[in-house]
Amino acid sequence: MAAKQSSKTIIVSNRLPVRIVKEGEKLAFMPSEGGLATGLGSIYKQGDNIWLGWPGAVLNTKAEEAQTKKELKEQNMAPVFLTEQDIELYYEGFSNETLWPNFHYFNQFSEFNHEYWEAYKAVNQKFADQILKNANPNDTIWIHDYQLLLLPALVRAERPDISIGFFLHIPFPSYESFRLLPWRRELLLGMLGADFLGFHTYDDTRHFLSSVSRLAGIGNEHGHINYNNRQIMADALPMGIDYDKYAEVAAAPETLEREVRYRTSIGSEQLILCIDRLDYSKGIPQRLKAFEKLLERYPEYLEKVSILMVVVPSRDQVGKYKELKEEIDLLVGRINGQYSRLSWTPIHYFYRSFPLHALSAFYRMAHVCLVSPMRDGMNLVCKEFIASKLDKKGALVLSEMAGASKELSDALLINPNNRYQMVEAIREALEMDEKEQMQRMTVMQNTLKRYNIYNWVDLFMNRLSIVKKAQRSLTTKLLDDKSTNTVKSAYKKSKEPLIFLDYDGTLQGFYGDPQAAKPDAELYSIVNGLTKKANVIIISGRDKTTLGEWFKECKVDLIGEHGVWLKAYKEDWHTITNLTDTWKEAISEVLDGYVARTPGSFIEEKDYSLVWHYRKVETGLGELRTRELTSHLKYLASNQNLQVLEGDMVVEIKSTEINKGRAARNWMKRYEGADFIMAAGDDWTDEDTFKVMPSDAYTIKVGSSNSAAKFSVNNYEEVRELLKKMNS
């Protein structure tokens, strides 16, 4: 007996949420407290789910590897072991010296080194091998970040149907930056192995789509990319934080005790807080220079305001980082040297990391949090600051180059290259009255509470499963000789066959003048051949007069104007009028999902329609969502008789009760005894017909292979060939 194949989720990232520390002969496994680890904890710790990645130490013996495997297995993790050379070339090299600077627009620092590239490919393959060892066809794989851009396609090559999601945590650069990479096409094709690709902001998504189109020559329609017969989706999904955790830590006795201790030693001065990893993308020197300018221009702040600056050590043995560290040290030295008093230090500078409760005490103490990166995918520090402000007092100065600025429009937004603006924004933050602080903080807290890390994880997994479902329902098989014979022999055997045929593009080609597309002799002969045995329905968008005229000599039923007009053979034309609103509940749920992911949008309910408004949504994002919503509804809900209409900043879903699907369904009732059902069509209105067909019907899409139909053919001539064979 075959064992039932379970379906699990596999999370993959360069680093596991654990750190191995070698203590002499022994290995200690320290959990990581990062936001991603917390958010994904709700997934990877469940059942058979698993997180794959590098455990953070190069292991030297088989015994160490075996122990690591065993310990990690107990925590639902599996290691990908990397050598020192892997780390040097793939991680430090290609990931951090090629991709990182390029994606953050620091191209002057990008190294284009072939050895790095080879190592990057090889390590991505190592990850793929590890996934393939663990993955079943029904599993879902969620791959994270820029170190693993090739991984989706490597897995896809071996598991064509598996569900793969990818999330990029750093910015995706403009085409103008990305095109500089010698391996740009390979990287894009690597990413396109995924079914759903998530980015922090709409701009990242837009840049990715533009690179895919211009560098890989693969077009997209509103975020949907058709590639290798798969419909892939790219979308913005800003990552949140574990809001409640930060709020709880901010209220913990240990945090309060630390705050009192730190305050006692610092004094009562106003604090500007900055927390970053040592990196040139963070704009640390620019910020220090702005602070120096502030003191110079507004001497009233001397002895009243200080910066508390935490820089977390990172790669400070590498050239550029070493230089950056030296530059920061010099600037801090210069400013402190010039302005310090015995009782006051302008910059409290720490080049080290702190435990969470210390960080939380800093967040509580800060009057202003200054987050001024030159470029940042999201930036979680500013979100943690907001969550830690239990009394809602304090102000955030935020670079518009951080992804977080798209959500936190109530911060004081700055361009980090504009020193004058930064100085004035810091001043405005220091001077802001409490009422305004609390107003702004309330808005930002509400946003972050709602779009928290758990919500982000749920949304990602939902998106991926919707994309995959739509993809699976839309994959057709090219009608080959074998399937043609199957259709033919089923038709021959049937006693009461029923055939729905769209007209333009299905039975006839397209002409400049629509009236010129009238049936020719061959077509009449085919239709008349079929009607000797079958009930044939011409189901078209054409008006009833034209259809009636063209087929007046044929023994066919007619459906005109996409289902508005119906006419059985020898009967008169009539219309459908009954309206219902039973579809609304299900569609509201879908729309709720869009409202949750699109801040500023809302739903209006009318008697026979629902309206999604996006006038207040970030420019561009509303338009992108419209495309997505329209196609989502078309594919998921059109068998419920809905029409999706785009208006001025609105999308309206109407109960028309009128479409080809409904008309076809009525006709199937009329011919209840049908023992062979076939439908052929070429455009989106025919999708409605395909969707109401019983599962054993032969549905045929003319043109692309993306359809709810089972089979596809290339053009109307091939439809005619098939019908001729059935007649023969």
Select from 193, 238, 377, 681 the one that contacts ligand GDG (CB under 6 A). 377
Residue closer to ligand GDG by CB (options 38, 270) is: 38
Nearer to ligand GDG, 68 or 201 (CB): 201
| Closest distance to ligand GDG from the beta carbon of 461 (Å) | 17
Q: Does 686 participate in catalysis according to the annotation?
A: no
Nearer to ligand GDG, 453 or 617 (CB): 453
Q: Does 356 bind ligand GDG (CB under 6 A)?
A: yes
Segment near ligand GDG (CB under 6 A); pick from 372-380, 487-495, 504-512, 541-549: 372-380
φ, ψ for residue 70, nearest 5 deg: -65, -50
**Residue 353 or residue 421: which is nearer to ligand GDG going by CB?**
353
* Cβ proximity to ligand GDG, 78 vs 381, nearer residue: 381
Distances (CA, A) of 317 to 62, 322, 361, 373: 30, 6, 30, 22
481 burial class (0-12, 13-18, 19+ CB within 10 angstroms)?
Answer: exposed
Binding mask 2-41 for ligand GDG (x = CB under 6 A): ---------------------------------x------
Closest to 287 measured CA to CA, from 431, 421, 101, 389: 421
Residues 151-190 close enough to bind ligand GDG by CB under 6 A: 169-170
- Of the residues 502, 504, 557, 688, only one is catalytic, namely 502
Q: Which burial class, exposed, middle or buried, applies to 443 when counting CB atoms under 10 A from its CB (0-12, 13-18, 19+)?
A: middle
CB of 350 to ligand GDG, least distance (A): 8
CB 31, min distance to ligand GDG, A: 12
Cα separation, 291 vs 269, whole angstroms = 15
554 φ, ψ to 5°?
-105, 155
Number of chain residues interacting with ligand GDG (CB under 6 A): 20
Contact region with ligand GDG (CB under 6 A), list: 41-49, 377-385, 462-470, 645-653: 377-385
Decide if 613 contacts 649 (C-beta within 8 A): yes
Do 568 and 583 contact (CB within 8 A), yes or no?
no
DSSP 577: -
Taking CB under 6 A as the criterion, the residue among 378, 414, 479, 558 binding ligand GDG is 378
Cα–Cα distance between 641 and 634 in angstroms, integer?
10
Both tokens of 661, joined, read 């699907």
Q: Provide the minimum distance between the beta carbon of 57 and ligand GDG in the complex, in angstroms, as a whole number.
A: 20
Reading across the β-sheet that carries 220-221, which strands appear in turn? 77-79, 50-54, 9-15, 140-144, 163-167, 196-199, 230-236, 224-227, 220-221
Single out the residue of 353, 455, 462, 531 in contact with ligand GDG (rule: CB under 6 A): 353
Q: Which of residues 457-486 bind ligand GDG (CB under 6 A)?
A: none
Backbone angles phi, psi at 345, to 5 degrees: -115, 125
Q: Does 275 bind ligand GDG (CB under 6 A)?
A: yes
Binding to ligand GDG by residue 379, rule CB under 6 A? yes
| Nearest residue to 562 via CA among 542, 548, 545, 576 | 542
In the complex, what is the shortest distance from the CB of residue 517 to ligand GDG, in angstroms, rounded to a whole number? Answer: 54
Give me the DSSP letters along 20-52: EEEETTEEEEEEP--HHHHHHHHHHTSTT-EEE
95 lies in the binding site for ligand GDG (CB under 6 A) = no
Report the C-alpha gap between 320 and 312 in whole angstroms: 16
Q: Does 43 bind ligand GDG (CB under 6 A)?
A: no
Q: Name which position in 381, 396, 523, 708 contacts ligand GDG (CB under 6 A).
A: 381
**Which of 40, 228, 15, 8 is closest to 127 using CA atoms?**
15
Among 81, 227, 321, 354, binds ligand GDG (CB under 6 A): 354
> For 531, which DSSP code?
H
User: Which region, judged by CB under 6 A, interacts with ligand GDG, from 67-75, 78-86, 379-387, 526-534?
Assistant: 379-387
d(CA 594, CA 597): 5
- Taking contact as CB under 6 A, which single stretch among the options 207-215, 291-299, 351-359, 601-609 is the one that binds ligand GDG? 351-359
Contact present, 599 and 617 (Cβ < 8 Å): yes
Rule CB under 6 A: which of 285-324 touch ligand GDG?
Answer: 310, 312
Q: How far is the CB of 379 from ligand GDG (least distance, A)?
A: 5
Q: Which residue numbers are catalytic?
A: 502
Applying CB under 6 A, the residues found at the interface with ligand GDG are 35, 169-170, 239, 275, 277, 310, 312, 353-356, 359, 376-381, 384
